[in-house]
Amino acid sequence: MSELKFGEKISLLNGGFVTIKKELGRGGQGIVYLVDLNSQPKALKWYHNSLDQAFYNNLASNVMNGAPSSAFLWPERITERQKGSFGYVMALRPQNYFEFGNFLLAKKSFKSFQAMMAAAMKICNGFMMLHRFGYSYQDLNDGNFFIDPDTGDVLICDNDNVMPQGEKSGIMGKARYMAPEIVAGGIPDKYSDRFSLSVILFMLFYANHPFEGAKVVACPCMTEAYEKKFYGSEAVFIYDPNNKTNLPVRGIHQNVIRRWPVMPAELRETFIREFSPEMLKNPQSRMIEQNWGKLIASLRDKLVICPHCGEETFIDEAKPQCMNCGRDVDVSRRLKLGLRTLLLTNGTRLFIDYDNTPDARVAVNPQDRNMLLLQNLTKEKWTAETPSGKVKSVEPNEFMPVKHGIKVGFNAANKGEIIINNQ
Ligand SMILES: [Zn+2]
């Protein structure tokens, strides 16, 4: 086992070196050190044992190719082989990001549903970009994700196991996040990553595992053989409508019992379909990342501020009531945006594009409490065209009225229309 000491200099492939400052933490694979690279603080992951040349070459090639998106804390430099091992350099994780596992244990919680949705969107986009680059993730688990509970921003770490699709890193992921076909011995690919993505999203929304119900609780001791059954050959979704053998257990799976009925119906329907026996057996029919992205956007379009209690609530259009105070929410004012419908209530923030930053805010007109306004939170000017054909520009931070029939040009790609249902 190789360890490094304060002040040691470690040479990097293609020149330069880092200086060891202190240990930040250690795990099964290696030790993470705070290091100095050209006066910049960075993290160095140093492997306990010297892994084989194929692993080294893959890591070096990932460094060359660069990060697929800003969601990844990607290897920036790789060291030369020395002192019986090697390692790689990455950016330091900022203080305000916490391990996903902390959210599952309720040690940390999202500040808002808006932050939760932002995290889901960022994870989805990260996976989409990873697959676009031709990679598969391989070793996915709740220790890989770090989340800012206030904003929902996500950093995906431990990307040293990212491999081109069709290749196997030799490091087995944790069974809880692996697709059944990988538990059975298959090679990870984008289809198995899609399964892992739906597990991560389920846990993000409901804070329990989708396959851990009565069957797992009844298990005397989790051996490898049992793992292969519960997450592989005999996996049963806890809310499988046709198989109630693995229902969540009261007192143990409280999070999902509480949240399952409260979160929007389309989310429940999607998970029931994605975790159905058919979908578990047919990896190629699993939902693609883009469609998860659309689903999350559509949930976010129904997430509004309740005008009565001021809390966030998802709106079920069949029964538009606040999930906190139970009172009826007036959702007659809407923004039609292509196929999407965004509900407009005072205080609600709107996400027009997919960059995870609010683009508009709904406010009340101080002169007329019955009239809503839309504030431009972007850096671009919008255009607003009235039904009579008058065109006005809405500068950044300026407000425009929420009036029936006004067409809004947010940018070249996004044009919407305000609809007030009773007019
Ligand atoms: Zn309310």
CB-count burial class (<10 Å; 0-12, 13-18, 19+) for 22: exposed
Place of tokens 């190789």: 2
CA of 114 to the centre of ligand 1 (A): 16
Query: Which of 158, 122, 123, 130 is closest to 66 using CA atoms?
Result: 130
CA of 401 to the centre of ligand 1 (A): 24
The full length of the chain comes to 423
Task: Out of 3.30.70.240, 3.40.710.10, 1.10.510.10, 3.10.290.10, select the CATH number for domain 98-293.
Answer: 1.10.510.10
Residue spans per domain, the chain:
9-90, 98-293, 332-420
CA of 96 to the centre of ligand 1 (A): 30
Please, what CATH class does the domain formed by 332-420 belong to?
mainly beta
Note if the pTM is more than 0.75.
yes
CA of 331 to the centre of ligand 1 (A): 13
Query: Which of 355, 213, 195, 375 is closest to 289 using CA atoms?
Result: 195
SS3 303: strand
CA of 346 to the centre of ligand 1 (A): 12
Kindly report the CATH number that applies to the domain delimited by 9-90.
Answer: 3.30.200.20
| Inter-CA distances, 385 with 204, 290, 378, 410, Å | 40, 31, 18, 12
Place of tokens 């660069």: 66
Amino acid present at 67: A
Radius of gyration for the chain, computed over Cα atoms and rounded to the nearest angstrom: 24
CA of 111 to the centre of ligand 1 (A): 17
Query: Which of 15, 98, 86, 20 is closest to 57 using CA atoms?
Result: 86
* CA–centroid distance for 337 within its chain: 24
CB 274 within 8 A of CB 116: no
Q: What is the residue-level pLDDT of the chain in tens, covering all 423 positions?
A: 789 999 999 999 999 999 999 999 988 889 999 999 999 999 999 999 888 898 899 999 999 999 998 889 999 999 999 999 999 999 999 999 999 999 988 899 999 999 999 999 999 999 999 889 888 877 777 778 899 999 999 999 878 878 777 666 555 556 788 888 888 888 888 898 899 999 999 999 999 999 999 999 998 887 888 888 888 889 999 999 999 999 999 999 999 999 999 899 999 999 999 999 999 999 999 999 999 999 999 999 999 999 999 999 999 988 999 999 999 999 999 999 999 999 999 999 999 988 889 999 999 999 999 999 999 999 999 999 999 999 999 999 999 999 999 999 999 889 999 999 876
